[in-house]
């Protein structure tokens, strides 16, 4: 009888322990690697030639073709306040830009972008901003677009 009661009590506590563990585990969050990013759009062009002609003065950019239009982006960030800072940076250079939001799933690039955002958040130096934007765009092209 004592053995039975001991087994029952131990079983009860183990069951509670495992149930609590299960309740605390929310499962695999698929969205962990899928984050919303802010892309700074420079323009939309009807042909590759038009895009190339209108981006000659830009240090670096990435583009996306959608519905036969060429969308040009000159900055990428995770932080909306940094996106505003990038827009202001380009405004000082007399470029009109807008902010677009897209989801990206590339974990490697998201990690790199965290580092770029830290630097962008802490600086007001236009040379540093230009350098970080250039690096972020080159890495986006390398890691996300080309899949290297």
Predicted TM-score of the model (pTM): 0.75
Tens of pLDDT, residues 7-63:
545 555 445 544 554 444 333 233 345 789 999 999 999 999 999 999 999 989 999
Q: What is the pLDDT at residue 21?
A: 44
User: Looking at the DSSP assignment, which residues form a beta bridge with residue 11?
Assistant: none
84, pLDDT greater than 80: yes
pLDDT band at 4 (very low <50, low <70, confident <90, very high): low
The residue extents of the domains of the chain are 32-145
pLDDT score recorded for residue 147:
83
Which pLDDT band, with edges at 50, 70 and 90, does 146 fall under? confident
Tell me the three-class secondary structure of 61-88, residue by residue.
CEEEEECCEEEEEEEEECCHHHHHHHHH
Average pLDDT, the chain: 84
> Tell me, what's the pLDDT at 95?
96
Q: Tokens 């802010």 map to which residue? A: 38
- DSSP string of 110-148? HHHHHHHHHHHHH---HHHHHHHHHHHHHHIIIIIIS--
**What CATH number belongs to 32-145?**
3.30.70.1070
Nearest-5° Cα angle at 89, 83 to 90: 95
Q: What pLDDT, on a 0 to 100 scale, did the predictor assign at position 72?
A: 97
């Amino acid at each position: 009888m004592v053995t039975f009661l001991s087994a029952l009590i131990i079983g009860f506590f183990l069951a509670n322990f495992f149930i609590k563990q299960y309740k605390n585990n929310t499962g695999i969050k698929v969205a962990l690697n899928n984050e919303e990013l802010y892309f700074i759009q420079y323009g939309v062009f009807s042909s590759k030639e038009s895009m190339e002609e209108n981006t000659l003065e830009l240090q670096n950019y990435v583009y996306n073709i959608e519905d036969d239009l060429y969308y040009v982006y000159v900055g990428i960030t995770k932080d909306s306040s940094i996106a505003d800072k990038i827009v202001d940076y380009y405004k000082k250079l007399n470029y009109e830009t807008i902010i677009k939001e897209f989801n990206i799933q590339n974990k490697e690039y998201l990690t790199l972008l965290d580092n770029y955002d830290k630097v962008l958040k802490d600086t007001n130096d236009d040379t540093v901003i230009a350098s970080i934007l250039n690096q972020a765009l080159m890495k986006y092209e390398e890691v996300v677009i080309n899949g290297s």
